[in-house]
């Protein structure tokens, strides 16, 4: 996997703006250049490394987080776009406990590698928020932006159905 070559802009660099947003229900303010990627701010500035970088171009879903409750690829969101938003990352699920969606992943073998799983969990949370009882097609559509080419989706789909049966909501 190619090493990400972007640098987080530090306070020594020019053209920094104050970016304010809520992260996992906590207000934060960071200094960033307008075109810094949200995923880099999360991982490097805020040390929330549960959100992964894989493709870096919006194809794999490893960097999935919720922005104002909607699933987004944080590698495609720039700092200025995150200003005044509410972001939820994998660290913010469950409010310090095991989130019911994570519990369903544990029980049904949905946890796979550390690259895809955080994004898959966030995608399932977004799916269940929109479709509390998703059809097979809605599950497939909900997971369509989150790629795994090594293990497959069987355990993840079982976990979605388990979460659905347990009445999970975002
Ligand atoms: Fe963002 Fe792949 S790292 S979609
Ligand atoms: Fe994580 Fe395949 S990418 S198990």
The answer to the question of residue 61 being in a domain is yes
Regarding whether 102 and 85 lie in a shared domain, the answer is no
* Ligand 2 site, residue 120, Cβ cutoff 6 A: no
**Helix 154-165 and helix 100-108, axial crossing angle in degrees, nearest 10:** 130
Distance CA(21)–CA(100), nearest Å, equals 26
The confidence score (pLDDT) of residue 167 equals 74
Ligand 2 atom nearest the C-alpha of 116 is 1
The answer to the question of residue 131 being in a domain is yes
pLDDT above 90 for 110: yes
Distance CA(113)–CA(136), nearest Å, equals 23
Regarding whether 111 and 83 lie in a shared domain, the answer is no
- Which CATH number do you get for residue 124? 1.10.150.120
* Ligand 2 site, residue 60, Cβ cutoff 6 A: no
Stronger pLDDT, 25 or 2, i.e. the higher one: 25
Question: Is 0.85 surpassed by the pTM of this model?
Answer: yes
Q: Using an 8 Å Cβ cutoff, are 67 and 86 in contact?
A: yes
The answer to the question of residue 148 being in a domain is yes
Ligand 1 atom nearest the C-alpha of 39 is 1
Regarding whether 142 and 76 lie in a shared domain, the answer is no
- Ligand 1 center–CA 10 separation, angstroms: 23
Regarding whether 98 and 155 lie in a shared domain, the answer is yes
Alpha carbon distance, N-terminus to C-terminus of the chain:
32
Regarding whether 65 and 105 lie in a shared domain, the answer is no
For the segment 24-68, what is each residue's pLDDT rounded down to a tens digit? 999 999 999 989 999 999 999 999 999 999 999 999 999 999 999
Tokens, residue 25 = 């229900």
């Amino acid at each position: 996997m190619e090493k990400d070559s972007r640098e987080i802009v530090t306070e020594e660099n020019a053209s920094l703006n104050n970016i304010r947003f809520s992260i996992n229900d906590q207000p934060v303010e960071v200094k960033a250049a307008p075109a810094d990627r949200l995923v880099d701010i999360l991982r490097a500035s805020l040390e929330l490394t549960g959100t992964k970088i894989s493709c870096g171009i919006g194809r794999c879903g490893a960097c999935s987080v919720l922005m104002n409750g909607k699933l987004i690829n944080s590698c495609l969101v720039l700092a200025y776009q995150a200003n005044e938003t509410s972001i939820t990352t994998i660290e913010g699920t469950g409010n310090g406990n095991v989130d019911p969606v994570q519990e369903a992943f544990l029980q049904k073998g949905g946890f796979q590698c550390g690259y895809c799983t955080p994004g898959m969990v966030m995608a399932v949370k977004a799916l269940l928020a929109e479709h509390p009882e998703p059809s097979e097609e809605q599950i497939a559509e909900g997971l369509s932006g989150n790629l795994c080419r090594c293990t497959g989706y069987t355990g993840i789909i079982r976990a979605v159905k388990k979460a659905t049966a347990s009445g999970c909501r975002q």
